[in-house]
Amino acid sequence: MQLFTPFIAMMRARQLGRQFREIERSIRALPKRTRARLSALTLREIGQASRSDFPHLYGTAPEARYLPWGQGTEAGYERARSDNAEVALRGIALWLAVAYHETKNSPHASLQPQHRQLMQLLRELKEIHGNSNAKTVESWMQTSAVA
């Protein structure tokens, strides 16, 4: 089994990398307002996943918990490709949350580049979220001052 583990991790890294490129392309195509909404959804999904017993298996059916990796990224990826904008947005958030937890503390060197790329994208979403919150508070303060 020790011979297969690095191979399985390498194949998983390739799969996540391929999915990441498409997810990233979808995010970059979103309007700024929608990206701000995505950042809030992603933050919520990451929080919900971290509260589960096995965050990297978030979105996986209980009977499938003994697979080499969970089904959350696959479910999120399929939803992200939906024609329905709301379903796609929620799918992207799910994929980002599960991929984050799956790669976060991975001992496999092949998954570490995926984690770094994911962290960079999450940082960009966090900045958008922070800027949109600041603008919302700022506009609210100006509106209340006029009233």
User: Does residue 90 surpass a pLDDT of 80?
Assistant: yes
pLDDT for the residue numbered 1: 55
Q: What pLDDT score was predicted for residue 52?
A: 82
The reported pLDDT for the residue numbered 133 is 56
The percent of residues above 70 in pLDDT, for the chain, comes to: 86
**What value, to the nearest 5°, has the Cα angle with vertex 88 and ends 115 and 68?**
45
- Per domain, the residue ranges of the chain are 4-146
Structure confidence at residue 145 (pLDDT): 37
Lowest-confidence segment of 15-24, 26-35, 45-54, 61-70 by average pLDDT: 61-70
Measure the CA dihedral 10/12/18/21, to 10°.
-100
DSSP 83: S
What is the rounded average pLDDT of the residues 68-81? 89
Best-predicted range by mean pLDDT (60-74, 99-113, 124-138): 99-113
**Residue 141's pLDDT is what?**
31
CA distances from 137 to 14, 37, 105, 142 (A): 42, 16, 36, 9
- Asked if pLDDT for residue 19 goes beyond 90, the answer is yes
**Res 30 pLDDT > 70:** yes
Neighbours of 35 (CB within 10 A): 19
Q: Work out the mean pLDDT of the chain and round it to a whole number.
A: 83
Using alpha carbons, select from 132, 139, 136, 135 the residue that is nearest to residue 35.
132
Q: What is the mean pLDDT of residues 68-89?
A: 91
Residue 29: exposed, middle, or buried by beta-carbon count in 10 A (0-12, 13-18, 19+)?
exposed
If you write DSSP's letter for every residue of 64-80 in order, what string do you get? GTTSSS-SHHHHHHHHH
Report which of residues 130 and 30 the model is more confident about. 30
